[in-house]
């Protein structure tokens, strides 16, 4: 009987897709399954992830692991989105819904909090967390305490979402820095410790001890015993393979619903102006700050693609437009400013958060091709500006683009054409967060092995097309002034 292949299992929990992946000893994905769960509503009627269904699925998949004929699972780890907390009662059971980080935050509670803790500007700067309401997951706790005191009084332990997934297998409650450091408003980046407000509000006692991200515990599955990691925030997980593989400075642009440009090679402190423009600090797997800038790139793109498809009678789920250099040049020379992209989903994110909501008028375009060119041109311009924010005062010549937009070569070449003196690479790796979580169970991994795994391809700028000076922002400013 042939021996089973030894694998590391990773549960990679995104907002849309929930995945289980198996990595072999060479860190190649040998099996992957994906689930999508319908959202439910929380106790206030707002949409949220179905924690009970996700938990049941995860535990069900774990129970199957000893029965695999082809694989032997030796370890398991977890990558999950941040800005989300699971609140456990005395018996270790969740007692609240999995509150959505897009849930509205009561303005009066927010004002009260900032007034108590130094004002919005000072607090945001110290915690490297743009003021984003529920997206500052620490402020979710404060909201819970003020608005739902009966529920709050029953909480004995608070876990960040990745660590909750690990807890399901190990029963061990821990905290971990990549989750604490992702725009939570909980970490004092000046003092490299929790912010004092958590102790003042008697919340610190509800947070477990901090463990290194490489920590693992023994978990029993049937008669088998495996190592279980403590989980990692997905953005930091996506950065981990590149951080281990390359010594030369780079910016990692992770794309999907959100695009996050991460620069682990700067010591710049964040200014409040940068924070307002959706810059923040993460903590990487070594506990060091990473300067990042965010933009709801995929959210805007998907919305506009659906809108374009409906208006022009094209497939709303598929982008099928080849780049036309002459059309792009025509747009660059258009002085009317009437056709420029109006952000409808991402206007409060990214480098231009003061952009007012509006509606992009598609009747001004002659056809689908012209409108899609405009959409991609302007989104690439905004993304280029977000990259410059992440770069900061230093000079970094290498940008690595991963995720969904790495397959959109039209977008990639537009972006490369807007980054003078830089080389833009795409990575064919589609599951960087899961790989990052898997690597933590196999440290140390040789850098050369990781480089081969990442398979970078350089994306060349369009020839004879100078986009260096094109700016959606200046066009947008002109449009606002003329209104």
What are the residues facing 399 on neighbouring strands?
251, 424
Number of domains into which the chain is organized: 2
Query: Phi and psi at residue 291, in whole multiples of 5°?
Result: -80, 130
Residues 363 and 403 in one domain: yes
Shared domain for 163 and 265, answered yes or no, is no
Q: Which two tokens stand for residue 162?
A: 């990745």
- 68 and 81 share one domain: yes
3-state secondary structure of 233: strand
What is the domain-level CATH number for residue 246? 3.30.420.40
**Which pLDDT score is estimated for 2?**
66
pLDDT at residue number 314: 93
Helix axes of 368-391 and 409-417: crossing angle, nearest 10 degrees? 50
Cβ distance 191 to 91 under 8 Å?
no
Cβ-Cβ contacts under 8 Å for 265 (sequence gap 6 or more): 249, 250, 394, 396
Q: Rounded CA gap, 305 and 315, in Å?
A: 9
* Same domain membership, residue 323 and residue 198: no
Q: In this structure, are 265 and 177 located in the same domain?
A: no
**Greatest distance between any 2 Cα atoms in the chain:** 76
User: Which pTM was predicted?
Assistant: 0.88
**What pLDDT is recorded for position 335?**
66
Q: Do residues 171 and 271 share a domain?
A: no
What's the pLDDT tens digit per position in 149-169? 999 999 999 999 999 999 999
Distance (Å, whole) CA 9 – CA 27: 11
Same domain for 188 and 320: no
Identify the domain boundary among 230, 260, 283: 230
Which of 184, 204, 230 represents a domain boundary (last residue)? 230
192 in the same domain as 66: yes
The residue out of 173, 204, 230 marking a domain boundary is: 230
Domain residues for the domain of 132 are 5-230
Both 189 and 285 in one domain: the answer is: no
Identify the pLDDT of residue 474.
80
Total length of the chain:
483
Same structural domain, 376 and 470: yes
Which among 198, 184, 228 has a CA at the least distance from the CA of 11?
Answer: 228
Query: So what's the pLDDT on residue 316?
Result: 85
Low-confidence ranges of the chain (pLDDT < 70): 1-2, 335, 475-483
């Amino acid at each position: 009987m042939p021996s089973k292949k030894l694998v590391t299992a990773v549960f990679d929990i995104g907002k849309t897709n929930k995945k289980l992946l198996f990595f072999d000893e060479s860190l190649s994905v040998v099996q992957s399954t994906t689930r999508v769960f319908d959202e439910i509503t929380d106790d206030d009627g707002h949409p949220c992830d179905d924690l009970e269904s996700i938990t049941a699925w995860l535990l069900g998949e774990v129970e199957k692991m000893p029965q695999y004929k082809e694989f032997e699972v030796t370890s398991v780890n977890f990558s999950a989105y941040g800005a989300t907390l699971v609140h456990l009662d005395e018996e270790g059971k969740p007692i609240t819904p999995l509150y959505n980080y897009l849930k509205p935050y009561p303005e009066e509670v927010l004002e009260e909090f900032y007034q108590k803790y130094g004002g919005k500007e000072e607090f945001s700067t110290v915690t490297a967390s743009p003021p984003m309401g529920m997206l500052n997951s620490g402020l979710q706790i404060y909201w819970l305490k003020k608005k739902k005191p009966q529920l709050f009084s029953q909480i004995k332990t608070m876990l960040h979402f990745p660590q909750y997934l690990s807890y399901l297998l190990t029963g061990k409650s821990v905290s971990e820095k990549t989750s604490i450091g992702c725009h939570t408003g909980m970490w004092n980046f000046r003092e490299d410790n929790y912010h004092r407000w958590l102790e003042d509000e008697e919340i610190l006692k509800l947070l477990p001890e901090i463990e290194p991200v490489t920590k693992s515990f023994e978990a029993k599955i049937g008669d088998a015993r495996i190592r279980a990691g403590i989980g990692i925030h997905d953005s930091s997980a996506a950065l981990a393979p590149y951080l281990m593989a390359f010594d030369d400075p780079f910016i990692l642009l992770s794309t999907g619903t959100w695009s996050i440009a991460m620069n682990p090679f700067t010591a710049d402190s964040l200014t409040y102006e940068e924070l307002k423009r959706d810059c923040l600090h993460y903590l990487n797997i070594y506990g060091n700050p990473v300067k990042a800038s965010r933009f709801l790139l995929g959210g805007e793109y998907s919305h506009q693609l659906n809108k374009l498809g409906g208006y022009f009678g094209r497939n709303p789920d598929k982008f099928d437009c080849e780049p036309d250099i002459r059309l792009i040049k025509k747009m660059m020379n258009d002085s009317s400013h009437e056709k420029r992209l109006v952000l409808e989903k991402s206007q409060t994110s990214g480098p231009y958060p003061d952009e007012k909501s509006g509606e992009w008028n598609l009747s001004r375009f002659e056809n689908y091709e012209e409108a899609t060119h405009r959409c991609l041109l302007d989104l690439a311009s905004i993304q280029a500006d977000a990259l410059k924010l992440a770069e900061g005062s230093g000079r970094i010549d290498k940008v690595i683009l991963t995720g969904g937009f790495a397959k959109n070569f039209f977008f990639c070449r537009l972006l490369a054409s807007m980054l003078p003196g830089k080389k833009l690479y795409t990575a064919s790796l589609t599951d960087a967060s899961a790989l990052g979580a898997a690597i933590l169970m196999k440290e140390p991994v040789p850098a050369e092995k990781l480089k081969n795994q990442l398979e970078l391809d350089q994306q060349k700028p369009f020839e004879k097309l100078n986009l260096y000076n094109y700016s959606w922002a200046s066009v947008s400013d002109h449009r606002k002034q003329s209104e």
